[in-house]
Each structure stands twice: as C-alpha cells, then as structure tokens.
Amino acid sequence: MIVEGAVQAGCKFFAGYPITPATGIFKGMVDMLPGRGGLALSAPDEISAIAYAIGASLRGLKAMTATSGPGWALMTESVQFALMTETPLVIALVQRLGPSTGGATQGAQGDVLLAEYCTSGGYTIPVLCPATAMECYSLAILAFTWAEVYRTPVVLLTDKEIAMTSERIDDHALCPMTAQDRPTAKAGSAAYAFEFPQEIPGFRPVGGYEKVTVTGSAHDKQGRLQKNSPETVQVLRHLEEKIRWREQDFSVVESDLQAGAETLVVSYGVTSRAALQAVVRARAEGTAVSFLAIKSLFPVPKKAIVKALAGIRTVIVPEENLTGLYRSVLSSLFHGADVRGVNKVGSMITPGEILEAVKEVQ
C-alpha cells in the first residue's frame, strides 16, 4: 500500500537495494513505476540508492527510496545532504530487529530515534508512522506532500509487521488526491531565497533555464559555500525554523479520549493496534481509559498530547523496543503524570500485556 500511495502521490522515481523487510516496496515500484512514466532503478547499495533519488529530486521529480535499519545507517549521510540542500525526498524505513544485522524477519520499533536524530545539529525530520494498510497509503501521499511543500526529507516509518502483512482494504475508500508540488522559484531569485527564516524558498530544477548550484556544505542564500557568515547562520537556522514554526501543521493523531479517565495509553505503529484492543477490553471491563495513537511522531504533536493529558494521572506508552525510545521523547510533556512503559523486543506486544499494565494502575 506504500507503493500504491507513492504512485498516487505522483512519485516518478524510485531507487532501491534489496533488504528484508523493505524489498517488497522496491519490487512493487519496479513493477508499477515504468508503466506510469516513472523510473525504478536497482542500486549497488543503499548509499547509491538514496543518492540516485536525490539526483532525480534535484531535477524536480517526486522521488523515493525504501530500506530497513542497516540500509538506513548507510543512507544517513545523504539524508543530511537532502536536509541541508532542501531537497524533497521520501524514505520508507521499514524497521526490523536491531542492532546491526539484527533480525531481518522480526519486527521492531527500534529505529524511532535513529530516524529522527540522524542529523548533526538537532534538526527536525518529519516522521510519519502508519499502523494499517490504509494508513500506509494515505500517509505515503502525505509524506510526499510534506517533502515537497516544506522541501525536506520525510521518513515514512513502518515495520516488518505493517509492511509484510496482507490486509483487506476497501479500495473505494482510498484517497484520490495526489500529493502537492514543491513551490517554484521566481525568475532571478536566489537559490534559497527567504525574507523570514520560516519561509520555504522556491525550488529551481537542475538542468533548467537558470544556473543552479547545490552544496551540502554550509552555504549562503545563493547556495554557495560559506563558513560562518551571518547569512550562512541564518540559513542554518532557517532549515529548522521552517519546520518548527508550522509544527501544528504536522500533527496527525487519532485520539479516543474517555471522560473521567485517569489513565492514557499512548502508542504508535503496529503496537497502537494492540493498544487499541487493550483499551476496548479495559472499557468492556468497566475501566475508564483514554487512548492516543500518534501517526506523526516528529515534529511531536504537542498540542494533541497536552489535550489528551487533561485529568490524566498515569500514562502508559507501549512500544517494541528495549528502553522506551518515544516515551523518552514524550516524557517532558507528561510532567506530573506517572509514566510507564510496556516494552518488548523480539516479538510483538500483545493486547493482554498492555491490558495488564492498564489494570495494574487501578
């Protein structure tokens, strides 16, 4: 469904390298893109794959690559390049058990912070995290819109269970929209023209009528290498400011809050499906409990979280990693509440395990 979403979004270029559990996206793109006027290439490794995609995006095409943990590690230099050069790019990161080669056929939610914090300097990379086949489709389209409109790399974060499980969907319910396009540069303007740091500079394609220079080095608004001139520092601030300033535009959550509940379950990805089951069962047993499934992990949807916290004494964050990666990010928002994790590696967290944690609170 990620492939279907990407094609619907208007993706015209894909490059990949085989890696379980992301190979299905690679194969799907190879099968679908050429027939729709696109190009899908096999790269000799993940470093090349993402670089091909950046090249295609520099020309103005909606471009994507897909990988899993070990491949992501190789891609991070180019993810930073895309961020620095404001090159729109979607990377589907299908998590598997780590560290290192880990477990190719075992799911995990271990790359949450690896995806977000792969950049030197504390920049925000938008991360979308679908929990169902339908969301793989709709959030893939949204990922392209974000990448294009805000000129940034966007991570579509799934895991082995989401990417490799067959699910029934209603194809009439599929969103018929394509993704939005990147803003175009005015003739004669600077490569990274902005007056206020939050502005998104218009894009000028390589190989067009005007000369284009792009550099991953610190640069001025013309895209020319400069060390620490005030303008270069302005550009560096702008890279973060353009995302942070419109933080609320990135908020995608599903909240199911119950009046009088003092316990809130916060989850994401495949685990949020188990969490929802646990919440339904807890309510059936007469326990009041609120539920928040987060689809846009970064930028953190603070407003939605703060709203869900009203009257809450205990927050439970189930996630499939050792130490509660996303919990560590959210904990500063949970001031005063008792924060508990339900963590597991090697297999999925069951609704029963989450239910037990909910009951322990009561």
Partner 1 sequence: MGHVATSIDGMELVYERPRTLTDTPMHYCPGCGHGVVHRLLMEVVQEMGIQEKTVGVAPVGCSVFAYNYMDIDMQEAAHGRASAVATGIKRILPDRFVFSYQGDGDLAAIGTAETIHTVNRGENILVVFINNAIYGMTGGQMAPTTLLGMVTSTTPLGRDAAVMGFPLKMTELVAQLPGAYYVTRQSVHTATAVRKLKKAIRNSLEYQKRNKGTCFIEVVSNCPSGWKMTPKESNDWLEKNMFPLYPPGDLKVPRD
Binding site for partner 1 (CB under 8 A): 16-20, 23, 26-27, 30-31, 41-42, 44-46, 70, 100-101, 104
Output 26 or 203, the one with its CB closest to partner 1. 26
The nearest distance, CB 100 to partner 1, in angstroms, is 7
CB closer to partner 1, 23 vs 87: 23
CB neighbours (10 Å) of residue 168? 5
Q: How many CB atoms lie within 10 A of CB 171?
A: 8
Alpha-carbon distances, residue 219 vs 35, 185, 230, 237, 346 (angstroms): 39, 18, 11, 12, 44
Q: Considering only CA atoms, which of 122, 115, 163, 114 is closest in space to residue 139?
A: 163
Return the structure tokens found at 265: 């379950």
User: Least CB distance from residue 14 to partner 1, whole Å?
Assistant: 11
Q: How far is the CB of 13 from partner 1 (least distance, A)?
A: 13
CB of 346 to partner 1, least distance (A): 18
Cβ-in-10-Å burial (0-12, 13-18, 19+) of 93 comes to buried
Closer Cβ to partner 1, 26 or 150, answer by number: 26
Q: How far is the CB of 163 from partner 1 (least distance, A)?
A: 13
Nearer to partner 1, 46 or 161 (CB): 46
* Chain Cα centroid distance, residue 339: 24
Nearer to partner 1, 152 or 158 (CB): 158
Q: What is the closest distance, in whole angstroms, from the C-beta atom of residue 18 to partner 1 in the complex?
A: 4
**How far is 175 from 169, CA to CA, in rounded Å?**
12
At closest approach, how far in Å is the CB of 69 from partner 1?
A: 11
Residue (44 or 336) nearer to partner 1, CB: 44
CB proximity list for 358: less than 8 A, separation 6 or greater: 263, 265, 278, 279, 282, 287, 289, 316
List, as one string, the DSSP characters of 107-155: -----HHHHHT-STT-----EE---SHHHHHHHHHHHHHHHHHTTSEEE
Cα 32 from Cα 160, distance rounded (Å): 21
Q: How far is the CB of 88 from partner 1 (least distance, A)?
A: 24
200 and 180 in contact (C-beta within 8 Å)? no
Considering the complex, state which of residue 91 and residue 127 has its C-beta at the smaller distance from partner 1: 91
